[in-house]
Amino acid sequence: MLVAELTRGLVELNIEGNPFAGSRSGYPGFFPLIEQARPTQVTLVPDGDGQITSDHGFDLSRDCVRLAPVIARCRELGCRVSVFVDADAAGFSKARAIGVDRVELYTGPFASAHASGQGAAAAQQYAATARSASMAGLSINAGHDLSQDNLGTFLDAVDPVSEVSIGHALIAEALYQGLATTVGNYLDIIRRARVRPLSVG
């Protein structure tokens, strides 16, 4: 059923990974995977093979030269390209010039600040970065450690946001609340934030 929805354009597939990571047992490599799956979007992250999860983004001021051929190849395969960046990122005009469509703001530090009662203040830096990226012609995604508890605060400050990536928290919350209720709660948070429509992926 999911395959049918993907092919009819009802569900987007986003593949996130390090485009410079090579193949290994059980993993064909980034581009063989992209060529086979043909996702709507690829999100490029600089994670090393030993990392359990993302903890930093690309430095666009430094990394655009090596990212340029990667992005060109992704676009040749028909994929929208998002690049994972930190909250204080710069170099958005360079990113747009090499074909980047979106940046995904790494929200781990925001989530930590929110947990300590400083979420609203921390979100202001993200809002400023999002404005800079938007002015360069890029759309904004966000992800990492977002949850029902902190998503509303983030979306109240950062506008516009095209997509939020929520995986771990959604599944953990669904264990207690049920999947339908959890997804419904996230959609309610998004609606209340009064931002343009987002996709939750």
In 3D space, the residue among 195, 101, 91, 193 whose CA is nearest the CA of residue 151 turns out to be 193
Distance CA 151, CA 148 (A): 6
Distance CA 120, CA 43 (A): 26
The count of C-alpha atoms lying within 13 angstroms of the C-alpha of 166, restricted to the half-sphere facing its C-beta, is: 25
Global confidence as pTM: 0.88
The CATH code of domain 2-145 reads 3.20.20.70
pLDDT digits (tens, 9 = 90+) for 35-66: 999 999 999 999 766 666 777 899 999 999 99
pLDDT digits (tens, 9 = 90+) for 88-141: 999 999 999 999 999 999 999 999 999 999 999 999 999 999 999 999 999 999
Tokens 């995977």, located at residue: 33
**Type of residue found at 54:** S
Distance CA 169, CA 118 (A): 20
